[in-house]
Structure 1
Amino acid sequence: MTASSGRRPRILYLAFYFPPSRASGVFRALATANHLAAADWDVTVLTAPADFFPRFLGAGSTDPDLAATVDPRVTVSRPPMNTYRWKRDLRSYGAFRANLPVLTNAFYNWTQRHLFPEHYAGWLPGVISQAVRRHAVRPFDLVLATGNPFASFAAAWALGRMLHVPYVLDYRDAWTFNQFTEQPKFPPGSNAYAWEERVLRDAAEVVFVNDGMRRHLAGQYPFAADRMTVVPNGWEPEILAAEPATEPGTEPASGRDDPSASDRPLRFGYVGTVTDHLPLEELFAGWRRARAGHPLLADATLDIHGHLGFFPHDADRLRDRLPLAEPGLGVFYRGPVPKPRIGEAYRALDALVFCVPGARFVTSGKVFEYMATGKPVVSVHHPEIAAAEVLEGYPLHFGGTGLDADSVADSFVSAAKAARDADAAARAAARAHAEQWTRQAVLTPWEQRLRALATG
């Protein structure tokens, strides 16, 4: 029996990072699984073992509130995994590793060079074994894998061959090059390049988060170019709970959505994970200059909402990069915001600071949420990043021609003026621009293509 005979199409989704993990790629995986379930797919997600994140990455690497947002129709299963790479407690070593540590490590390094060059390779046997068993009971019509880690791509390729079902690859991140530095991740001759070519040759579709990454991979692997598409990230209206735009002619007499904003200091904010890749020094240099140089910002505040890094050991180092103790600067760290309450954080701000790494292949999921608020957005990044294409046409976007203190300061001043002066019509136009990137808008065409593959 096939999906075309009347039953729901059945998809196997390989997503190592899935709630309650709070890694950056989780939101795309979560939205995809939920969207497919809502579109009447039978969805099974194979993800990381339940204890992997708290045991090896720390309790701060998970978000229990996020797990509650998984559609109850989605089946989530967690195959066992060989965690050799992450074990540091000698008491957890097996007899062979405890007595012959050098030989054991040499063998592990050999498998990385000659079998699969990723520490997550230990997830592969459990995934493949469980997928085969589930397929024998109720066949899958399609396999979808999201990376990183890219062991999911290898598993999709192996299952495609073993089960004779099509598979689709979703590049949330680049595999063989660093999208932040644009440098190769692996030395010449690494089997990572052979693996990437192998999985791309047989994939039914290859999806990227932005067109820059698609063009780059199409140039490297032209034989797969006609199967490469873009599915951008998006935003969830039900989570963001953006306030409806005021109809033109019904705005307050002041002409602003929030007349109280004219009577208090402006509140700028960054919402998102703070990482080592962010241009924080440029951000705060521009903020200092704007605060000192324009009366609109003299008493303004800049709130940082989000986790400090993805792992607990990142927090102290990243906190040191925030000028929290600098007198009169008005920079405050407010801590992480649970995803279900993200709308509250946005509503408390007058303008948003979009600070992201400078690289052509970086989009970030937050840019879509930022635009959905209909509020001024200050860009603190290199002008040529992929996210700039998304912001093009957003009427309340303010970004300079470079990433320097003067350009950043000018953007802050322009955004401050817009926060005071933008009327309801301007904010409605800004929200309308964001509507094209709701999760429903970006995922529906992809779901239709996946359905065609599953039922073909």
Structure 2
Amino acid sequence: MTPERPRLLYLAYYFPPSRASGVYRARATANHFAAAGWDVTVLRAPDRFFTDAVGSLDESLIDTVDPRIAQVQADLDFFAWETDVRRFGRFRGNFPFLAKRVHRWRQRFAFPDGYHSWGDSAVEEGLRLHRERPFDLVLATGNPFAAFAAAYRLGKRTGLPYVVDYRDSWTLDLFANADAFPPGHRAWRWERRILDGAAGALFVNEALRSWHAERYPRAADRMHVVLNGWDPDVLDDREAAPPGDGPLSYAYVGTITKVQPVQPLLEGFRRMAAAGSHPGARLDLYGHLGFFAGSRGALLRELGLDGAEPEGFGYRGPVAKTDIGRVYAGSDVLVFLAGGSKYVTSGKIFEYMATGKPIVSVHEPGCAAEELLSGYPLWFAPGGLDPDAIARAMAEAGDAARKADPAASAEARAYAASFTRDRALEPFEALCRGIAREGGRR
């Protein structure tokens, strides 16, 4: 290891210009390591995946990546995403059904992740880069979990230590609180193999770390929690102006999916309005509908929002990360709308707290974010998804917004200041520096 400037190979499929929710942790991690003196190379998905396959990108994020970071696009087999017959090869173009059968047959023997071809390419690119100028550490973030397999294989081929970062869970279904794969599935063997060989494994909350530690006890002493956080470069913590005399603005900011309790939220808001609380108040949802282009119509129907918008409600569409501060500044109460279980924290909650504004929770009891929110002085929790309880919590949050107590807001922002991404990443960077120095020896 070069003491003054260690070299990091970071396997991060979702990286700017991607707008996937996990990209913010990856972006912050790469930036933090570069600022801490590491020579960082990111292996990511090809641009074509974001532009053509999923139509999901936020180009405003590109300029927020530290210019010292080198980026390499590993290749990908686009078979599963290709819909333009003009791009089909000769075999697929002439024998489409046979080509599909052959493709499916090959999947039976590949790493159990739809992005395994990218993982294969990442290994080849990583080996090429390592030959040109050796790395000291490999860090992989998932999903996709082909990144973990690539880190494992690079470790085997080069002797480099590797660390895996679970932004998401692989073998645990977060929303069903159940195993994501049946007994005997190859994913279980691969996960054990990867964790047994890793110099470290990261999780976004203690509940996830504990679940994996119980499942894989031999790797438990190398499992750590690195919380998500908020990004001061796109959101500051200056005190917001109190609401004027006009109607209050309630807002949810984030990706909207079918697992979130949108209907209980809308009904709770309707009942608050029917009770005469905060006349004229609006509820606006900001964010992408689903994770892929083309999913908006189906998701609107599934959420019951494909007809006329309920009175006082509006879907405002996506917001670029660099413009998100403007949305927060124009909102009086923030709604934390989350699906899932005790294993779900959601990175968005850190941004919410950084605003110092009232926050209303709309999710099942026991969500992992409650542990963080319990220390936030402007948190209003209905305790579940009962619409009447949601209506009361929204009304109380509106009262707090109207009151605009400077002391409460200052206390809230002071609490949130301890949850910047850099603060969360500082001990992890030190851990990685030690792993690189020791070469991963345990």
TM-score (norm 2): 0.95
Partner of 1:242: 237
Partner of 1:57: 54
Is the contact made by 1:308 and 1:315 (CA closer than 8 Å) also made in structure 2?
yes
| Corresponding position: 1:312 with 2:293 | yes
Looking at structure 1, the residues matched to 78 and 269 of structure 2 have their Cα atoms a distance apart, in angstroms, of 44
| Corresponding position: 1:214 with 2:209 | yes
Displacement after TM superposition at 1:323 (Å): 5.0
| Corresponding position: 1:299 with 2:280 | yes
Partner of 1:112: 107
| Corresponding position: 1:73 with 2:68 | yes
Q: What amino acid is aligned across from residue 113 of structure 1 in structure 2?
A: R
| Corresponding position: 1:346 with 2:335 | no
Number of residue pairs the alignment of both structures matches: 437
Looking at structure 2, the residues matched to 422 and 167 of structure 1 have their Cα atoms a distance apart, in angstroms, of 48
Displacement after TM superposition at 1:329 (Å): 2.3
Partner of 1:401: 383
Q: What amino acid is aligned across from residue 147 of structure 2 in structure 1?
A: S
Alignment of 1:251-330 (within 5 A): 258=242, 261=243, 263-295=245-277, 297-320=278-301, 321=303, 329-330=311-312
Among residues 385, 400, 425, which one is paired with 2:407 in the alignment?
425
Deviates more, 1:364-373 or 1:107-116: 107-116
RMSD: 1.8
| Corresponding position: 1:197 with 2:179 | no
Looking at structure 2, the residues matched to 443 and 301 of structure 1 have their Cα atoms a distance apart, in angstroms, of 37
Q: What amino acid is aligned across from residue 312 of structure 1 in structure 2?
A: A
Displacement after TM superposition at 1:268 (Å): 0.7
| Corresponding position: 1:17 with 2:17 | no
Partner of 2:140: 145
Looking at structure 2, the residues matched to 279 and 299 of structure 1 have their Cα atoms a distance apart, in angstroms, of 23
Looking at structure 1, the residues matched to 148 and 228 of structure 2 have their Cα atoms a distance apart, in angstroms, of 20
3-state DSSP class of the match of 2:294? Answer: helix
Looking at structure 1, the residues matched to 142 and 181 of structure 2 have their Cα atoms a distance apart, in angstroms, of 17
Looking at structure 1, the residues matched to 107 and 313 of structure 2 have their Cα atoms a distance apart, in angstroms, of 45
Displacement after TM superposition at 1:47 (Å): 0.4
Query: Could you report, residue by residue, the CA deviation over 1:350-376 in whole angstroms, capped at 9, with x for unpaired residues?
Result: 110000103121111110000000000
Displacement after TM superposition at 1:86 (Å): 1.8
| Corresponding position: 1:31 with 2:13 | no
Q: What amino acid is aligned across from residue 166 of structure 2 in structure 1?
A: Y
Looking at structure 2, the residues matched to 318 and 449 of structure 1 have their Cα atoms a distance apart, in angstroms, of 42
| Corresponding position: 1:381 with 2:366 | no
Is the contact made by 1:79 and 1:127 (CA closer than 8 Å) also made in structure 2?
yes
Looking at structure 1, the residues matched to 246 and 398 of structure 2 have their Cα atoms a distance apart, in angstroms, of 12
Looking at structure 1, the residues matched to 67 and 96 of structure 2 have their Cα atoms a distance apart, in angstroms, of 44
Is the contact made by 1:269 and 1:349 (CA closer than 8 Å) also made in structure 2?
yes
Is the contact made by 1:267 and 1:350 (CA closer than 8 Å) also made in structure 2?
yes
Instruction: Name stretches of at least 5 consecutive residues in structure 2 with no aligned partner.
Output: none
Partner of 1:253: none
Displacement after TM superposition at 1:95 (Å): 3.2
| Corresponding position: 1:44 with 2:18 | no
Query: Could you report, residue by residue, the CA deviation over 1:232-274 in whole angstroms, capped at 9, with x for unpaired residues?
Result: 11001221123248xxxxxxxxxxx52xx25111111111111
Displacement after TM superposition at 1:317 (Å): 2.8
Matched-pair identity in %: 50
Partner of 2:83: 88
Query: Could you report, residue by residue, the CA deviation over 1:316-342 in whole angstroms, capped at 9, with x for unpaired residues?
Result: 233443658657721112221111111
TM-score (norm 1): 0.92
Looking at structure 2, the residues matched to 417 and 149 of structure 1 have their Cα atoms a distance apart, in angstroms, of 43
Looking at structure 2, the residues matched to 452 and 426 of structure 1 have their Cα atoms a distance apart, in angstroms, of 40
Is the contact made by 2:28 and 2:421 (CA closer than 8 Å) also made in structure 1?
yes
3-state DSSP class of the match of 1:186? Answer: coil
3-state DSSP class of the match of 1:144? Answer: strand
Q: What amino acid is aligned across from residue 300 of structure 1 in structure 2?
A: A
Among residues 163, 166, 173, which one is paired with 2:161 in the alignment?
166
Query: Could you report, residue by residue, the CA deviation over 1:92-121 in whole angstroms, capped at 9, with x for unpaired residues?
Result: 333344455555444433433333111101
Is the contact made by 2:338 and 2:362 (CA closer than 8 Å) also made in structure 1?
yes
Partner of 1:360: 342
Query: Could you report, residue by residue, the CA deviation over 1:285-331 in whole angstroms, capped at 9, with x for unpaired residues?
Result: 11111111133x22111111111222121112334436586577211
Q: What amino acid is aligned across from residue 54 of structure 1 in structure 2?
A: T
Relative distance call for 1:382 and 1:449 in structure 2 (3 A) is same
Deviates more, 1:307-316 or 1:373-382: 307-316
Looking at structure 2, the residues matched to 333 and 142 of structure 1 have their Cα atoms a distance apart, in angstroms, of 44
Is the contact made by 2:353 and 2:413 (CA closer than 8 Å) also made in structure 1?
yes
Relative distance call for 1:322 and 1:430 in structure 2 (3 A) is farther
Q: What amino acid is aligned across from residue 214 of structure 1 in structure 2?
A: R
Looking at structure 2, the residues matched to 291 and 234 of structure 1 have their Cα atoms a distance apart, in angstroms, of 33
Displacement after TM superposition at 1:126 (Å): 1.6
Deviates more, 1:398-407 or 1:29-38: 398-407
Instruction: Name stretches of at least 5 consecutive residues in structure 1 with no aligned partner.
Output: 246-256
Displacement after TM superposition at 1:134 (Å): 0.8
